[in-house]
Chains A and B, each alone.
Chain A
C-alpha cells in the first residue's frame, strides 16, 4: 500500500475525531473543508486503472464543491443565523471521543468481515475509514442539538459514502457521481435557507425545540 494514501486516510480519521471532540462551529466548518479537499486528492490516488480524465474531472468537481462551496455556504448560514460558538452536545466531548474510538474499532471489525467485491486490490484502510466516517456522521446527528450541525453531519455522511464509492468509481458512470454532487449542493443550499427562516420565526435553531411545533391536540 502507498504511504501517501495511508497518511491522507489517517488525516481523514483525525478530522472525524476532531469533529467528535470539538465544540466550535468554526472547527466543524474547517473540518468539512479539509475533508472535501482530502477526498478530491484521494479520488486521484486510490484509482488503480491509471490516470484518466474523468477522475481528474471528478476530483476537481468534488474539491470545488465540498472543499470550497459548502464551507462558504455554511459560514454564510452561520453568520445570518447568529449561531453561538458552543454546540451544546447531548453527550460530552470526552464521551464522544471514547465512543468515536469504539466506532473505529467497530468499523475495522465490520470491514474485515464484509466480503466486498472490489475491482482489483485497494488500500486496506479505505473501507474501514468510509464506515467510520458514516458512523461518526450518524452519531453527530444524534448527539448535537443545533440544526446547523445536522446539516454538517449530513455532509460528513455523504463524504463517507463518497469515500466508500471511490474504489468503484471506475465502474460507475461519472454522470451519477456528478448528479449526486449536484443534489447535495441543492440540498445544502435549501437547508441554509430553511435554517435562516427557522431562526427568524422562532429565534432558535435548537432541534429539541422543534418538537413543540407538534399539534398538541393529537
Chain B
C-alpha cells in the first residue's frame, strides 16, 4: 500500500470531470463562443443527483444495476493503473489483461442495460457499440502486448516504468506507432469525434449516446462520471507511452504529467473542432487502421 498511489486515485476521482470542461472550452474557443463554465460537468452531476429517476415498466433490475456496476468497475480500474511513474495501488503479473477485461465488462453492463429497455433504438446503438469496440479492443491488446514484450514484464506499472527516453532512442519507430494506435483507440472508446459525436442527441448515426438515453437522474449522473473517468484512464495509457521523460523531482514530474493530461484534453478539443465525424461505414476502416498500427508495432517489435 502506497500513499502516493492512493493520492493519485483520489486526484483522478476529483479531476476527471474537469477534463470534459477543458475539451468543451477548447471547442467553444474554436467556434468563437464563450462556452460553458469549466466546471459544468460537476454542476450537471450535482443537479442529476438531486433528481428522481424515471424507470420504464419494461425494464428489470438490470437496467438499474447497469450504471452502478459501470461506475464501480471504472473506479476499480483506477486502482489498477499507474499514474506518471507512480505505480498502481494494486499490481500483479498480467494485470494489463485484467484491465482490458474490466473495460470490456463495463461495456457489457452498459450494453445489457440498453438492451433491457426493449427499445429498438437502443438496441441499434448497442449493436454498433459492440461492433466497433470489438475492433478497438484488438488494437489496445496488441499495443499493450507489444509494450509488455519490450518491457519484459506483464504488470502494467512495471511496463510503463520501462518506457524511458532510452527506449525511445532505440525503438522510437515502434513507440510512435503504438502512440498513434492508442490515440485512435482513445478517441473511439471515449466516443469522441471521428467515431462518434458526443453533442448530437437524437441523431440516427450516434453510437454511445444512444445507449444511455433512457437513463435519468442519479443513474445518468453515474454514467457521466464514469465516462469522464474512462477518458482519464485511457488518457493515462496514451501519456505513459508518449511521455518517457523524468526530471527526478517527484512534484515536478507529477505536475508535468497532470499538465500533459490537460494538454491531451485540449488536443481532443482541437481534433473535434477541426474534423467532422466519419460516415458510419468508414468507422470500421478507421479502427482497422488502429489495429494495423498496433499489429505493425507488434510484428516489428518481435524481431
Contacts and interface: CB of A to CB of B under 8 A. Distances in A.
Interface residues of A, number: 21
A101 B142 CA distance: 13
Contact of A3 (B169, B177, B289, B291): B169
B295 interface: yes
Chain A residues touching B, majority SS: helix
The size class of the interface chain B forms with chain A is: 10 to 19
A6 B299 CA distance: 14
B21 to A, nearest CB: 35
B284 interface: yes
Nearest to B172: A3
A196 interface: no
B249 interface: no
B269 to A, nearest CB: 27
Interface in B154-180: 169-170, 172-173, 177
A21 B289 contact: yes
Interface in A97-136: 97-98, 100-101, 104-105, 108, 112, 124-125
A21 B296 contact: no
Nearest to A98: B288
A100 B293 CA distance: 12
Given A10-B177, A101-B292, A93 B285 contact: yes
A13 B300 CA distance: 11
B181 to A, nearest CB: 12
B173 A7 contact: yes
A124 B303 contact: yes
B33 to A, nearest CB: 35
Interface core residue of A98, A101, A124 (most chain B CB under 10 Å): A101
Interface string B140-157: 000000000000000000
A6 B172 contact: yes
A124 B173 CA distance: 14
A17 B177 CA distance: 13
A164 B134 CA distance: 37
Contacts of B292: 17, 21, 97, 100-101
Given A3-B169, A3-B173, A6-B172, A97 B288 contact: yes
A94 interface: yes
A45 to B, nearest CB: 14
Contact of B284 (A9, A94, A112): A94
A7 B300 contact: no
A6 B296 CA distance: 13
Contacts of A105: 299
Interface string A73-89: 00000000000000000
A13 B296 CA distance: 9
Interface string A47-87: 00000000000000000000000000000000000000000
Given A3-B169, A3-B170, A6-B172, A94 B296 contact: no
A10 B284 contact: no
A112 B284 CA distance: 32
Interface string A25-56: 00000000000000000000000000000000
B177 A101 contact: no
B172 A7 contact: yes
A108 B299 CA distance: 8
Contact of B299 (A3, A14, A104): A104
Interface in A1-29: 3, 6-7, 9-10, 13-14, 17, 21
Given A17-B292, A124-B303, 5 more contacts: A94-B284, A97-B285, A101-B299, A105-B299, A108-B302
Interface of A: 3, 6-7, 9-10, 13-14, 17, 21, 93-94, 97-98, 100-101, 104-105, 108, 112, 124-125
16 contacts: A3-B169, A3-B170, A6-B172, A10-B173, A10-B177, A10-B296, A10-B300, A13-B296, A21-B285, A21-B289, A93-B285, A94-B284, A97-B289, A104-B296, A108-B299, A108-B303
